[in-house]
Structure 1
Amino acid sequence: MPVRRSDLADFTYFLAIARHRSFRLAGLEVGVSASALSHALKGLEDRLGVRLLNRTNRSVTLTAAGEELRAAITQPFEAVGQAVENLNRFRDAPAGRIRLNVVADAASLLLGPVLPVFSERYPDIQVDIVASNRMVDVVADGFDAGIRHGGTVPEDMIAQRLSADLRWVVVASPAYLERFGTPERPEDLLGHRCLGFRQGDDRVYRWEFEGPDGEFSIGVPSRILGNDTGVMLSMALHDAGLTYGVEQVFAPYLRAGTLRMVLEDWSTMGPGYHLYYPSRRQVPTGLRLLVELIRELRPLGL
């Protein structure tokens, strides 16, 4: 059966759906509505004479035929994409699109100061950021790279450091400390109201400290749990309890006096932010230029 020109676009849509297992997320990637994707895939299935996807209200899965087609066409389409990317060296100004999956704090602390400059310098490069604390497979989900804390980067990835190591601290509002007292040792947290943080893998984070005998962690009592630093910060500012995180997140509020640091002598350092990407994939020009600019501006040191 000869391949029609329209099939090429539909194959692109099919690969996006296969990566995301979702018409909505695939549509966001390729810039097409979910209903248009559904219509295109139905047309492709009709032309091929086989069902590629099993669709329900809650899930999208590949049939055996769909798995075989995905395996067969993924590499050729990646090769075409790489060939187009390679043309950047012939352009007067780099162009293209890069997709990043970024831990939420790094999106604001690391990329926030850099991307305005990047957009001015490289106006033809589009940057698509998904800020999430949940660990994802950047390859399967169609990202060019991810940004995470150094200790959480998958071992089979190439990693590049983007920041200095980060200091982790405990803070609370002056009103909270006046009402409930100031903890003097990490064990004192067991008698306090702590705002717990749920990690990307759904585990509740144990607050880490460093003392005379080295590093240790404490599972603090948490009436309130959240998975977003911004939410926990807001609650701390409204006197809900003690919270824990990267010092730079709290820095403006510490300077303003709306938050105070406690247990400062027990604070610990952790790995800085790292960018990571598959070793078998050539680095897109836009991603390389973004890394170079982060290292030039050094928003979190390096």
Structure 2
Amino acid sequence: MFAVDGSCSLMPISRTDLADYNYFLAIARHRNFRRAGLDLGVSASALSHALKGLETRLGIRLLNRTNRSVTLTAAGEELQAAISVPFDQIEQAVDRLNRFRDAPTGRIRINVPSDAASLLIGPVLPAFVARYPDVELDVAVSNHLVDVTDGGFDAGIRYGGTVPEDMIAQRLSAEIRWIVVGSVVYLERYRAPAHPDDLATHRCLRFRIGDDSVYRWEFERGDEEIAVAVPGSLTFDDSRAILEALIGGAGLMYAPEPLVAPLLASGAIRQVLDEWAASGPGFYAYYSSRRQLPTGLRLLIDLVRELKPLGL
């Protein structure tokens, strides 16, 4: 701090100040007290109280808060720019200490779609917990496309074709085959389609993807490629919900083959349009190129690549 006469008078920063600056950075990153609290493992009310205390001690308003939004004041933007790098460096230094421990520690947050949660991450979690019991893993399951950096996540997992170009990506699975299936009940009631164009006369279970658009079913046969905007009165944003409608005979489903493999094996559903099945990019982990890869995240990626629940 500078004294009135212009000389430099240093005021020590207390542990409370350091904690509150960290809270401020989380709030500034998320622009939401509840999400920042989830990131830090504290309540939104505790964050609000800490932020008010910091603003009182500084004598400056850092945030503009309403019932609907949280924005930074000019002073808040300047503070965020000034202290973000030092706090990132501290976090990275602490994480590097993991190599001196008998067992890694830390907390990582990842954002994954429901298919990846059940087919890719779920199968490796027992082994991950057994090997790294002191690493805390927070998995947010969402089929909406999110900015993992702004959302406070260490990484995301998505199908290869949807990974943001400015991110580092690591492949976690082999290509995935996409097929059309229907229940025995449905296919006894309606003639199975022989060509993708025949879907125009069928009931189809449609899927809304991460950007809120309805997915067009894609087909390949030799050099032919077709994308069909299928009809249907039922639209979902979660493939697990579609399965219930599929089994009940509500319509045909366009699905990643690993998701419906158990139902195919049991005979509850059948594949149609076999020769038109298409393959697409598998799952990739992606994370910011601007930050060091946390130890826990590296260990999780390595384990998925080791166990290969969806091939590689």
Could you say which TM-score interval applies, normalised by the shorter chain? over 0.9
In structure 1, the residue matched to 2:111 is 101
In structure 1, the residue matched to 2:7 is none
Task: Give how far 1:240 is off.
Answer: 1.1
Any idea what SS the aligned residue of 2:258 has?
helix
In structure 2, the residue matched to 1:65 is 75
Q: Does 1:4 align with 2:14?
A: yes
In structure 2, the residue matched to 1:50 is 60
Please, what is the CA RMSD of the aligned residues? 1.2
The partner residue of 2:248 within 209, 227, 238 is 238
In structure 2, the residue matched to 1:184 is 194
In structure 1, the residue matched to 2:133 is 123
Q: Does 1:261 align with 2:274?
A: no
The ranges of structure 1 where at least 4 consecutive aligned residues each deviate by more than 3 angstroms after the TM superposition are none
Superposition pairs of residues 79-158 of structure 1, within 5 angstroms: 79-158=89-168
Per mean C-alpha deviation after superposition, the further-off stretch among 119-128 and 285-294 is: 285-294
In structure 2, the residue matched to 1:297 is 307
Task: Give how far 1:214 is off.
Answer: 2.7
Task: Give how far 1:211 is off.
Answer: 2.2
Task: Give how far 1:137 is off.
Answer: 1.4
Rg larger in structure: 2
Q: TM-score with structure 1 length normalisation?
A: 0.97
In structure 1, the residue matched to 2:171 is 161
Q: TM-score with structure 2 length normalisation?
A: 0.94
Task: Give how far 1:212 is off.
Answer: 3.7
The partner residue of 1:78 within 74, 80, 88 is 88
Alignment partners' CA distance in 1, 2:52 and 2:203: 54
In structure 1, the residue matched to 2:257 is 247
Alignment partners' CA distance in 2, 1:260 and 1:55: 54
How many residues are aligned here? Answer: 302
Task: Give how far 1:215 is off.
Answer: 2.2
Task: Give how far 1:17 is off.
Answer: 1.3
Task: Give how far 1:222 is off.
Answer: 2.2
- Runs of 5+ in structure 1 lacking a partner? none
Any idea what SS the aligned residue of 1:171 has?
strand
Alignment partners' CA distance in 1, 2:304 and 2:183: 32
Per mean C-alpha deviation after superposition, the further-off stretch among 157-166 and 4-13 is: 4-13
Task: Give how far 1:31 is off.
Answer: 0.9
Alignment partners' CA distance in 2, 1:54 and 1:280: 28
In structure 2, the residue matched to 1:272 is 282
Q: Does 1:288 align with 2:298?
A: yes
Determine what percentage of the aligned residue pairs are the same residue: 65
The one-character-per-residue Cα deviations of 1:210-238 (angstroms, maximum 9, x if unpaired) are 02433221111121111101111111111
Task: Give how far 1:181 is off.
Answer: 2.1
